[in-house]
Structure 1
Amino acid sequence: MKIPRPVSIRARYTVAAIVTSLIVLTVIGACLDAAARYKSVVDTFDSTKRVASQWSAAVRAGRVPRVIPAISPVDLIQVVDHAGRVVRASEQAAGAEPLSNVRPPADDRFEEVTACPAVIGCVMAMAIRVTPASDSLVVYAGVRTPAVLANGRLEAGIAGGVLVLTGLSAWVTWVLVGRTLCPVEAIRTRMSQITGSDLSLRVPVPPGGDEIALLAHTANQTLARLEEAVSQQRRFASDASHELRTPIAGLRLRLEEALLHPADVDPRASIQAALATVDRMEAIVDDLLVLARLRSGDTASGEPFDLAMLVAEVVEDLATGMPVRVHVTDRVFIRGSRVQVMRVLENLIANAQRHAESTVAVTVGEEGGLAVLEVTDDGGGISLRDRERVFQRFVRLEDGRRRDPDGTGLGLAISREIAESHGGSLRIEDSSRGARFVLRLDVVRVEAPVETAPLAS
């Protein structure tokens, strides 16, 4: 029959402590029992040998009294002839049969004896042959078998001690493991209360810096990141639905008007207006897909490329707009997605061209181990309070709406996402006139840079 394994960690550790304690304490108890028995036997036979030796010498000298005086703790003393008769004895051994019928051989006068005479009971004695002669007397000196060896009380006491210590070990393990796991139970209870609709709860952090406290800190950090991600998704969904609702409503209105009043509506104009609305919706959806891919892709990988050369290509493609002046202070190479960085440059330069009064300036250089690209226009600029707002999704300032009514409001948000996914940053910094966007990316050192295209326009 298979014994079910305890599910609780507390129970498992307690069972392990009980088994370990029983094994260790049983071994220690057995060693103690053996040591105690050995010492008792040795001490007993040493004392009986000493007394037997004294009276053996007295027998040879002929100075043995009729009643032999006992020498504590040896109180059983007998002198027995070759016929097995007790010739002399101590008071406690008088009138009894010989302590033993063992007679040591002539070549080995000492012999340890354990016997159980009927009158006296079990004894431990030392038998000494007085002389080598065949009719030599034998002196027996002994004591009744010590209680520690006779009645098993030593084993019972050791077994009781093993059980008590095992129980104490189990209790201590149960209490300590329970206290250790108490914070885990609190964390589990709090985690069960956290739902997708409410991620604001945090698990309790126990005092100290042990593994459980580190686990609680990590769990709270994970919950904070999860809450931020869910909040961003909710804001993103809300903003997207809000931005798409207007073109969808306009498209529906035009189509319904064309159906309800066919005589009053120009079909060609209605179709053109509907296509323009569809184009705006398609642009919004495309930008949303780009943001989704940036969240999940590894955009920082790729081959190194020349940032200045990329700027030249973008400026050439946008040559029909506001004039762009390019100034390169250092050739810098970066690593990443060339297409995505190009999109950042297109967004920044096109945005500057929309807001500039006469010119746009692009500067490429290196500063502190970073590639630095600045896009500056001479337009009205961006107020300090709006410098972070413009990077939020679907946020468009009043001037931006006026200059580009069909914009999606996602260009700068996508640009910052791309910059951060490449390990860089995109900010608006102070400028004497207009707005100054600054892109910073890590520089990659290359041994043989390729030739670049002209950089001025």
Structure 2
Amino acid sequence: MRTTLCLGGLALLFLAAVGASIDFLVLDRVQAQVFRETQRVAANWLGSLEPGKVPPPVAKSGVYLIQLVDSRGRVVTASTAAAGRPALSGLRPPLDDRMQDRKECPARGSCLMLAAIRVGPLETREIWHGEPHFVYAGRPEPPILATHRLEVVTAAGVVLAAALFAWANWSVAGRSLSRVEAIRATMAEITGSDLSLRVQEPPGHSEYTLLARTANRTLARLEEAVNQQRRFASTTSHELRTPLTGLRTRLEEAMLYPEDVDPRETIRDALSVTHRLETIVDDLLVLARLRDGDPAAHELIDIGALVREEGAALGGAVPVHVLACRDVYVLGNRIQLIRVVDNLLANARRHARRSVEITAARTADLAVVTVSDDGDGVAPEDRERVFERFVRLDEGRHKEPGGTGLGLAISRDIALAHNGTLEIEDSPRGARFVLRLPLTETNKRPSGPGTPQPATRTPSIEEPS
């Protein structure tokens, strides 16, 4: 409505200005044409005057009112239509301006448009012995000038054209906004319990099509996020309910059968379950912070040095062979990157038979950390599942029953928070986890092989480039 009113008002003002200009030009042209004709007829007849001979004027080109009037206002001669009429005008042009135009409007009758010409001094002296005479040639005012018909027609056309502009805008805007209204109505029907509705996409590549497509993509992402939250809530409740149920059972047994239950063992089991619950809650908080995009302080980190430090700090029956290049700098949070490396090393040692290998190198623009083990590996169909929350394969449950199933999920989220990736790639033996992080700008340059710094002696491992 606002657009239609504004456009209609602007169209009315513009067309009114155009119409007024056209009317003025037309009326001015018609008036100028009439005056030219009267001047021409009067001048032609005046040129036919001779001493002793004053021929009666003859009407031409619609100018049929012609009179010759003396200085006292008496009509000397006139055309047939002007005979018997008083002088057409009292206008007396001076010698320095012998030809003038005038519109005479008597009390009764229509207005006359005429030209008044003063007879030249030579003719006046020779014919009338110096008495001034005047020639009047005129015609009634044309209807287009005498009435306001042109203005009325123009005004009606301006109003009609402005109305057509407003109606066209109303129709086009209505059809356009109906698509937006359809999108709004569909969006209004969507509720948190049902996110499956989608907006109908108009054909073509218009802005409305892009809006509907964007709305559908947003709804798809929202639906996926809600489904993930529901799966997460369901899985989390299951993972928390199981240890809580076991803890409640042990405590109830201790209360009901105090003679048959060792209180120290019950307390020890309760502490173990509490520690597991605390670990799960801590991991969930870390995941929540990572998923919410909470900013963490970043600093310049030599990922090669970090890998060497973490690999050398690990003990245990399974040795970790570290081979890392120097000066592989990334921007990141040290605590979070240490957690990724520790999670990958702990996962590899859990599944390895004899040894674990971790390398750190750089390509043209990426820092690459690889953790490999010589275990059974991960099946291709499970390589994405293991990064989901609370997902633990049968082998992992068997080797570490107390695990939370959140380590790899946290590791991938940390990698994504650092604009990197964490994936499982093909390996001739065991599993091969590859972490890629963007190098700093000063470190993004092709380089030759870095100097590896092994944390344990492993002559059989080749140096990474």
Q: TM-score, normalised by structure 1?
A: 0.91
3-state SS in 2 of match to 1:58: coil
Residue 43 of structure 1 pairs with residue 33 of structure 2: yes
Give the equivalent residue in structure 1 for 2:112.
123
- Is 2:49 aligned against 1:53? no
Identify the residue that residue 184 of structure 1 maps to in structure 2: 180
The alpha carbon displacement at 1:186 in A equals: 1.7
The answer to whether the aligner puts 1:376 opposite 2:366 as a matched pair is no
1:254 aligns with 2:250: yes
Q: Distance in 2 between matches of 1:30 and 1:117?
A: 28
- The AA in structure 1 aligned to 2:456 is A
Q: Secondary structure at the match of 1:208?
A: coil
Letter in 2 for 1:108: D
- 1:51 CA drift (Å): 0.9
Equivalent pairs counted in the alignment come to 443
Is the partner of 1:107 in helix, strand or coil? helix
- 1:144 aligns to what? 140
TM-superposed deviation, 1:149: 1.2
Listed as ranges, the matches of 1:95-110 within 5 Å are 95-110=84-99
Change (3 A) 1:273 1:149: same
Counterpart residue identity of residue 310, structure 2: V
CA distance in 1 between counterparts of 2:53 and 2:105 reads 29
Once structures 1 and 2 are overlaid, which stretch shifts more, 173-182 or 73-82? 173-182
Tell me which residue corresponds to 2:455.
455
Residue 243 of structure 1 aligns to which amino acid in structure 2? Answer: E
- Deviation readout 1:205-242 (Å, 9 max, x if unpaired): 22333333322232222222222221211111111001
Distance in 1 between the 2:298 and 2:108 partners? 105
Q: Which residue of 1 aligns with 2:428?
A: 432
Change over 3 Å in CA distance of 1:166–1:119 after alignment to 2: closer
| Match runs of 1:439-450 below 5 Å | 439-444=435-440, 446=442
| Partners of 2:52 and 2:342 in 1: CA distance | 131
State the shift of 1:120 in Å. 5.6
User: Aligned partners of 2:235 and 2:183: how far apart in 1?
Assistant: 35
**Aligned equivalents of 1:118, 1:380: Cα separation in 2:** 121
Q: How does 1:11-410 map to 2 (within 5 A)?
A: 11-66=1-56, 68-117=57-106, 121-132=110-121, 135-297=131-293, 302-328=298-324, 331-410=327-406
Q: What's the CA shift for 1:111?
A: 2.0
Letter in 2 for 1:102: L
Question: Cα RMSD (Å) of the superposition?
Answer: 2.2
Name stretches of at least 5 consecutive residues in structure 1 with no aligned partner. 1-10
CA distance in 1, matches of 2:195, 2:53: 104
Residue aligned with 2:63, SS: coil
Q: Is the 8 A contact 1:300 1:423 kept in 2?
A: no
Judged with a 3 Å threshold, the aligned counterparts in structure 2 of structure 1 residues 366 and 106 are, in CA distance, closer, same or farther, namely: closer
Shift in alpha-carbon separation, 1:117–1:442, aligned structure 2, 3 A = closer
Distance 2:363 2:32 in 1: 91
Q: Structure 2 vs 1, CA of residues 406 and 442 (structure 1 numbering), >3 Å: closer, same or farther?
A: same
The C-alpha deviation readout for 1:324-348, integer Å capped at 9, x for no partner, is 1112356522221111111111111
* Structure 2 partner of 1:5: none
**What does the per-residue CA deviation read over 1:260-280, in whole Å, with 9 as the maximum and x for residues that have no partner?**
222222221111111111111
Q: SS at the partner of 1:222?
A: helix
Query: Relative to 1, partners in 2 of residues 1:75 and 1:359: Cα closer, same or farther, differing over 3 Å?
Result: same
Which letter does structure 1 place at the counterpart of 2:38? Answer: T
The 10-residue stretch of structure 1 (364-373 or 187-196) with the greater mean CA deviation from structure 2 = 364-373
Q: What CA deviation, in whole Å up to 9, does each residue of 1:52-86 have, x standing for no partner? A: 112223334444345x3211210111122222222
Report the identity percentage.
52
Amino acid at match of 2:30: S
* Cα deviation 1:305-354 (Å, max 9, x = unaligned): 12221122212332134211112356522221111111111111111112
Unaligned runs of 5+ in 2: 125-129, 444-450, 458-465
| CA pair 431-55 structure 1, distance change in 2 beyond 3 A | closer
Contact 1:45 1:125 in 2 (8 A): yes
Amino acid at match of 2:248: R
> Separation in 1 of the partners of 2:232 and 2:61?
101
Q: Deviations over 1:118-157 (max 9, x none)?
A: 6763101111122445632221100001111111111111
Structure 1, residues 153-183: CA drift from partner, whole Å, max 9, x if none? 1111111111111111111111122222232
Q: Is the 8 A contact 1:59 1:130 kept in 2?
A: no
